[in-house]
Amino acid sequence: MYHQQFEPNSYYYPEPEPKPQPSFLKRVLHLVREVLETIVPAVLIALLINLFLAQATRVYGQSMEPNLHTDQRLVVEKLSYNRHIRQLLRLSGPERGDVVVIRLESQGDELLIKRVIGLPGDVVEIHDGLVFVNGQPLNEPYVAGATTTGFYAPTTIPPLQIFVLGDNRGFSNDSRSFGTIPLEDVVGRAWFSYWPPEQIGFVK
């Protein structure tokens, strides 16, 4: 009797049917979803950082010379001047000598950069080219020997407000003209200079 012989490799294996390709619309929707899943969280994180932690700003004008210059770019940290976050994290409040960014409605919402001179409860006065805080002349190495122009009668800084001056006293619009600043109008503390390269460093 004849028996048909089959080689081990001679069996027929049918080719698997190709998987149906997604339509063009489905591919586009999938791509859009992937992009949104990547971009939306990044945008939300950036917004939260900008709202609560830090933001970038640029120096305009000469009111903070010789320490800050026009077009210098700064990172502004917001924790020190956000009352709720400061209390939550038990951070110290504003300090004399801080360089701060403020936004005043009376100045057209323009961002101004000034130095904190008087804190709540301090008595500030200006005469004879000097700034006095609580009856004592203030040591101000950052003004590079410049005198403080004008006269400011002894004034007690109200609660939750600060008194600010520009380092370039002869060319600064500051608390001598617009008075004390509510802390809620302080955007934050100028913390770090990142541009131009030769001015990279912490703001002092």
Residue 70 covered by a domain: yes
Q: Which residue has the tokens 């976050």?
A: 85
Residue 40 covered by a domain: no
For residue 194, what are the contacts with CB-CB under 8 A and spacing of at least 6? 56, 73, 74, 75, 200
Catalytic annotation, pick one of 80, 114, 172, 193: 114
> What's the pLDDT at 131?
97
Residue 32 covered by a domain: no
Residue 6 covered by a domain: no
The per-residue pLDDT string of the chain (204 residues; one tens digit each, 9 = 90 and over) reads 555 554 555 555 566 666 666 677 777 787 888 777 677 666 666 565 556 677 899 999 999 999 999 999 999 998 888 777 777 777 677 899 999 999 988 777 789 999 999 999 999 999 999 999 999 999 999 997 778 888 899 999 999 999 999 999 999 999 999 999 999 999 999 999 999 999 999 999
CA distance 149 to 117: 15
CATH number at residue 93: 2.10.109.10
Q: What is the maximal distance between C-alpha atoms in the chain?
A: 130
Active site residue 114: yes
Total tally of structural domains belonging to the chain: 1
Residue 39 covered by a domain: no
CA-to-CA separations, 29 to 15, 19, 21, 70, in angstroms, rounded:
31, 19, 14, 47
> What's the pLDDT at 193?
96
Residue 44 covered by a domain: no
Q: Which domain holds residue 138?
A: 55-202
CA distance 78 to 189: 6
Catalytic annotation, pick one of 10, 19, 23, 63: 63
Active site residue 19: no
> What's the pLDDT at 99?
97
Residue 123 covered by a domain: yes
